Amino acid sequence: MNERKTENRIESYPYWEIGERLPSLPEGRIERLYTHWSAHDYESVFPAYHFCIAAMPDGRILVVNTHDVRENMRDIGEHPDRPYAAHTRGRNSFAIGLSAMAMQGATPHDFGEYALTQPLIDGLCLVAAQLAATYGVPIDAEHVMSHAEAALHDGYFGNADEQRWDIARLAAEPRPLVDRDAIETGERLRERMRFFQIP
């Protein structure tokens, strides 16, 4: 039997079912949110992110708080040796990382056994909207972006080794991955986040 490592188990962290209100969050400076997928299965969580969205076999979608938000409420460059959630290369200062737990073995042409699902996407967008409201982060392309969009800006977008394309597509397509995929998908995700914003 292939056991998940203890640190990757949902039960190792605080978690709640999607749709419940976020628990009390620490006050502090958060300026940006970055969305990701984990490139793993539906249930393994990783503390590189602050919040992981996990799909359970019984259909529940859980939000797992895998990292202390306070550790990223600072300029990471001043003390890079101190713990923090290292979710987006060079962009972790004053930033929260959220990840849908999915996409193990995926390519732009074949999302595989652990493909993104609409409940995972909705969960990711709902939690992002809640966090944006809590920390006063505008849901626009400057303050809320996917890792793919950040990689595009910073010169490492793609699906080769050391490149990132999460989240550049919401469904597999046979055509080659292009920059426009990241931009258009980022805007679709932000539109969904705005839908979930509390009036």
Q: Which of 20, 33, 27 lies closest to 194 in space, CA to CA?
A: 33
Number of domains in the chain: 1
pLDDT tens digits, 99-129: 999 999 999 999 999 999 999 999 999 999 9
Q: What is the mean pLDDT of the chain?
A: 94
Provide the pLDDT for residue 124.
Answer: 97
- Write out the residue range of the structural domain in which residue 95 sits: 6-19+29-196
In a domain, 57, yes or no: yes
Q: How far apart are CA 70 and CA 88, in angstroms?
A: 16
In a domain, 100, yes or no: yes
In a domain, 24, yes or no: no
Asked if 83 and 99 touch (Cβ cutoff 8 Å), the reply is no
In a domain, 49, yes or no: yes
Q: Which of 72, 174, 189, 79 lies closest to 139 in space, CA to CA?
A: 189
3-state helix, strand, coil in the chain (%, to 5): 30, 15, 55
Mean pLDDT of 180-196: 97
Mean pLDDT of 156-174: 96
Q: How many residues does the chain have?
A: 199
In a domain, 43, yes or no: yes
All residues at 6 or more sequence positions from 113 whose CB lies less than 8 Å from its CB, including other chains:
104, 105
What percent of the chain lies above the pLDDT cut of 90?
89
Say which CATH number the domain at 149 has: 3.40.80
In a domain, 1, yes or no: no
